[in-house]
């Protein structure tokens, strides 16, 4: 029996009792022993059936089945597209609610072309041209860790490189030394957001989301994530450290031996300068196997143009294959990372750090909190037929071991 049938049977027993005997002083019907026994037995069946239905429903939810597609036993369900993770995500992007049964509507899309009208004409070439611009790079080669919360993360630091042991006379003891001097560093979690214009969420019309020949949901997701990535990439290289991450080149000056300049601005960067840069990093770090160069593509182009007295290029990948693409191969045996957030090379300015060399994994650390969060709001602008999208992520970064790498500059 179904839940509905059991409930009907229970009510029938009450009606039967009311017809057979007059009600008691409270006005309620009085059940005899047989009616009470049958009622209790049906209650047991009802509890068992409700428990069974609840289990079946939970299982269906775990398997991703839409309960509205289930049909009673003995009936045949019409053929229907199975729900998938992609379908559930598509539903969320359009409604803010997961696992909705989205009906495809093909109304004629209208509106200005720059606002999306170009995406929904009656028929056209199935290709959306999206301009691309390289960014990032440093984040892939530094130390990175993720946390589940955004609480500040402190850790102790120690620089004991200036201290050594000494030779002592027989029966004697040391005459000099130094206690450990511990410092500390801390990472917080700055919140980055991306949305639309005028400090408002990115708004997409319902018509555009439904009628576009392209996957608008994936486009919006990628665009917002990329916007966050672009600003984070800039901060990882040259962030001020004030209400934003401390960049890998920020504060690396000649005064603290944090940067090394080229020898002669009239000659530009030379092979001799590259050797000076390399050997400005202690061998203990160079022998780690993790040292690398990092600068922008314009700086790499200058380095590739360095030639010997015969006009032959000095730069070559390990394979001696000059067709190796940007960022590939090695420079003097060390890998090259291209990050467009670095300033352009300047031969006559030793205040501009245009690149770095060293063990960047040891020297710089990035802390992220969970993953990028996409927020879909179909309600606020529902009366305008618009869906709002925003994305946010939490991240911080700082210089971890400033002895592990040097910044590269021009000459004063």
> Higher model confidence: residue 118 or residue 390?
390
Q: What is the mean pLDDT of the chain?
A: 78
pLDDT score recorded for residue 80 = 46
> Higher model confidence: residue 130 or residue 235?
235
Average confidence (pLDDT) over 87-114: 50
pLDDT score recorded for residue 262 = 94
Q: Using the predicted structure, report yes or no on whether residue 71 has a pLDDT greater than 50.
A: no
Q: Using the predicted structure, report yes or no on whether residue 125 has a pLDDT greater than 50.
A: no
Average confidence (pLDDT) over 383-389: 89
> Higher model confidence: residue 382 or residue 86?
382
How confident is the model over 3-39, as pLDDT tens digits? 888 888 888 888 888 888 777 767 778 888 888 888 8
Q: Using the predicted structure, report yes or no on whether residue 358 has a pLDDT greater than 80.
A: yes
The winner for highest mean pLDDT among 3-7, 56-60, 82-86, 176-180 is: 3-7
How confident is the model over 290-307, as pLDDT tens digits? 999 999 999 999 998 888
For 402, residues 6+ apart whose C-beta sits below 8 A from its C-beta are 252, 256, 258, 363
pLDDT score recorded for residue 326 = 46
With beta carbons less than 8 A apart as the criterion, state whether 153 and 367 touch. Answer: yes
* % the chain with pLDDT above 90: 29
pLDDT score recorded for residue 105 = 35
Q: Using the predicted structure, report yes or no on whether residue 277 has a pLDDT greater than 50.
A: yes
* % the chain with pLDDT above 70: 73
**Cα–Cα distance between 115 and 207 in angstroms, integer?**
12
Query: In Å, what is the CA distance from 321 to each residue of 20, 274, 324, 329?
Result: 101, 20, 6, 8
Average confidence (pLDDT) over 354-380: 91
Q: Mean pLDDT lowest for which of 13-22, 51-60, 236-245?
A: 51-60
> Higher model confidence: residue 382 or residue 277?
277
pLDDT score recorded for residue 182 = 66
Query: In Å, what is the CA distance from 370 to each residue of 148, 149, 189, 241?
Result: 6, 8, 11, 22
pLDDT score recorded for residue 193 = 92
pLDDT score recorded for residue 54 = 76
> Higher model confidence: residue 84 or residue 56?
56
Backbone phi, then psi, for 357, in 5-degree steps? -140, 135
Residue 276 confidence class, pLDDT cut points 50, 70, 90: very high
* Beta pairing, strands 291-295 & 355-359: antiparallel
pLDDT score recorded for residue 324 = 45
Query: In Å, what is the CA distance from 89 to each residue of 39, 96, 130, 212, 215?
Result: 47, 9, 23, 17, 12
pLDDT score recorded for residue 410 = 94
Average confidence (pLDDT) over 68-93: 52
For 293, residues 6+ apart whose C-beta sits below 8 A from its C-beta are 331, 334, 335, 336, 337, 355, 356, 357
What pTM does this model have? 0.64
């Amino acid at each position: 029996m179904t839940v509905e049938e059991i409930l009907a049977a229970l009510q029938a027993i009450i009606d039967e009792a009311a017809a057979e005997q007059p009600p008691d002083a409270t006005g309620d019907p009085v059940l005899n022993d047989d009616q009470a026994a049958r009622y209790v037995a049906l209650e047991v069946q009802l509890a068992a059936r409700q428990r069974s239905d609840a289990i079946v429903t939970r299982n269906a939810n775990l398997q991703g089945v839409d309960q509205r597609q289930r049909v009673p036993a003995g009936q045949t369900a019409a053929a229907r597209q199975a729900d998938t993770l992609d379908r559930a995500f598509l539903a969320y992007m359009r409604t803010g609610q997961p696992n909705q049964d989205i009906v495809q509507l093909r109304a004629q899309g209208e509106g200005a072309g720059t606002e999306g009208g170009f995406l929904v004409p009656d028929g056209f070439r199935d290709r959306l041209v999206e301009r691309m611009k390289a960014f990032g790079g440093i984040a892939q080669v530094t130390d990175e860790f993720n946390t589940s919360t955004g609480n500040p993360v402190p850790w102790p630091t120690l620089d004991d490189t200036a201290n050594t042991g000494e030779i002592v006379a027989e029966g004697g003891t040391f005459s000099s030394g130094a206690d450990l001097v511990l410092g500390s560093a801390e990472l917080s979690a700055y919140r980055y957001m991306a949305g639309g214009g005028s400090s408002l969420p990115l708004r997409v019309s319902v018509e555009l989301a439904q009628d576009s020949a392209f996957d608008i949901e994936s486009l919006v997701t990628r665009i917002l994530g990329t916007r966050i990535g672009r600003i984070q990439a800039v901060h990882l290289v040259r962030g001020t450290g004030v209400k934003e991450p401390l960049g890998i080149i920020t504060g690396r000056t000649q005064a603290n031996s944090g940067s090394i300049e080229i020898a002669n601005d009239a000659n530009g960067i030379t092979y001799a300068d590259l050797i000076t840069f390399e050997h400005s990093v202690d061998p203990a770090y160079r022998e780690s196997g993790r040292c690398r160069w990092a600068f922008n593509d314009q700086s790499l182009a200058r380095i590739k143009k360095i030639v010997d007295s015969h006009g032959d290029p000095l730069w070559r990948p390990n394979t001696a294959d000059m067709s190796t693409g940007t960022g590939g191969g090695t420079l003097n045996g060390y890998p090259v990372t291209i990050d467009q957030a670095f300033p352009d090379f300047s031969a006559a300015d030793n205040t501009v750090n245009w690149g770095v060399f060293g063990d960047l994994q040891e020297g710089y650390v990035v802390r992220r909190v969970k993953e990028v969060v996409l927020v879909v709001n179909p309600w606020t602008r529902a009366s305008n037929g618009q869906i709002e999208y925003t994305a946010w992520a939490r991240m911080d970064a700082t210089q971890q071991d400033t002895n592990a790498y040097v910044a590269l500059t021009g000459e004063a």
